Structure 1
Amino acid sequence: MSIIDPRTGEALTAPIESDDAASAQASPESAPTGGDVRREDVIIDLDASNIQQVLEASMQVPVLLDCWAPWCEPCKNLMPVLEKLAVEYAGAFLLAKLDVEANPEISGQLGVRSVPDVKLVSQGGLVDSFQGALPEKEIREWLGRYFQAPADAPPSPEEQAEESLKAGDAATAREIYQTLTSQYPEHYAYQVSLANALVAEGRSDEAHSVLDNLPPEERDAAPARGVRASITFGEQALSHDEIAALGERDDSEAQFQRALRHVADGDYETGLEALLALMKSDRAYGDDAARKTLLQVFDALGADHPLTVAYRRKLFALLY
């Protein structure tokens, strides 16, 4: 079967070989490859004049219904992301946009109670849905349950920010997270990431302000505590220039300062390993400073963090 444009009845892409239920639910193996697809090929406005055609089209290709309203700000953030993904996925699904305010009867039949509401329809039935303006990364993960991601998919904004941080370009990462926090003000993970980028940029006071404005449950959670720990460790640690000035020194003080700098930079594993090594070689240094700092890092990362679990075990083995 071919993917049929519900507006014209014409085929949009190459035929899909299988028409069984698994194919209609867009398993990765059956995702069509339509080549260069135009925006108008895969995105349509849904209303009473074409709802039946769209449902019929879902017998051949999944349809992603974006239920939105003109007054809904989150909808305005979500729609461009869905449109970009529809084109990027090159015909693996059709994106049908429903203005619930202009089409209250259809939205009622679909069970839409709040917007944005995104529904994946296949074989005329509901496969899955999500509510709210999810960030692009989470939408890609959601789509990944049903569709094979395009081989040439561009990096998400989150991935771009992470790569910028790894490359030492904290300013670019900060700008990306500022945009994301503006678009998704209730996605608090972005605010924590923004604070982390601010720390990397040397703007700890601003990072503190961002973290202080989080809801209490987010402010006290492990990710935020980790950023606060980076700020604290950064205030305690020597600067990178001072670390470089240590040269070849390998005494306990030099080892501790290098470990503290790694922790302050967010390179927790290297820092934890160095602190553990210092405990082995000079347990008495700084009134047991290495062990105390290990415990501070564990608290910052949270009890369930993989590094906390692994290094608590190593610490226990060393002590007992």
Structure 2
Amino acid sequence: MSNPTPEPSYSPRGAVDLSALNRPQSPPPGTPGGAPTAGGFVVDLTDANFQQVVQDSTTYPVVVLLWMPTDQANADLGTLLGRIAEEYAGRFLLGRLDAEAYPQIAAAFQAQGVPTVVAVLAGQPLPLFAGAASEEQVRGVLDQVLAAAEQNGVTGRAPGAQEPAEEAEEVEEPLPPLHQEAYDAIERDDLEAAEAAYTKAIKQDPKDAQAVAGLAQVALMQRTRGADLHQVRTAAADAPDDVAAQLAVADMDMLGGKVDDALARLLDLLPGAEGDDKEALRTRLVEYFEVVGPSDPRVGRARRKMMMFLY
């Protein structure tokens, strides 16, 4: 096919470097205030499905959003594109790629920052724009993509993802008794009871990963209960080498969803720490790994750095 080249209808300025983590944060997709979860005509791209999505672009247009889901500007654009994708009902598929989690795929698109939007038509990438944009601007670019797709014979419609929400609710299994006890305790703000329930669950089954993660989360909530964010940050800024002060502000970052900031703060201190300070940093990092989840790519990267600094 000929290479379609619709021009962006506005300036592509405004992209940010992939390592920039100091912008306003958004909750993860699917949580209040965050972008919607994937579904319908929106799919999250991974190493496992990327090649299939590219292959599908020979049948229908694919629009790829390279983003950082917990950055507010990225989340806003993802929400807008997802709404338009649902409105267009399959005229294109929106693929969302977490550029931090899948840097090799992002590099294939030669993205210099996020958010970046690229079309894929018949397997060929077509850069569209980078940075924030108004709804009118986004719709204009998408309409150009659909026109180019039609000219090149890519006129199929993307199948909507199945959403078996009702079936999932029917087969959902109840929490184990001690987990439910801990959950209920957290709901009524009785963190001591939650801690006791999770501790008992771990004694019964030391391999209970959910209980271990739950206990770590409760410990984080206990340490930050009643803390004043401004005071904690001021104390950390005034004493950059004080491990206790840095641990306190890292807790606040973790509680606020700034996972990268919390991990980086402690990893930066680890090479120069000794004795009890080094052990305190190691222990807190391991606890954060449980809170975030061992399958999260940020945990894998941080764990490798920690091991390098420790040994």
Structures share a fold, TM > 0.5?
A: no
TM-score by length of 2: 0.35
Which has the larger Rg? 1
* More contact order relative to length (CA 8 Å, sep ≥ 6): 2
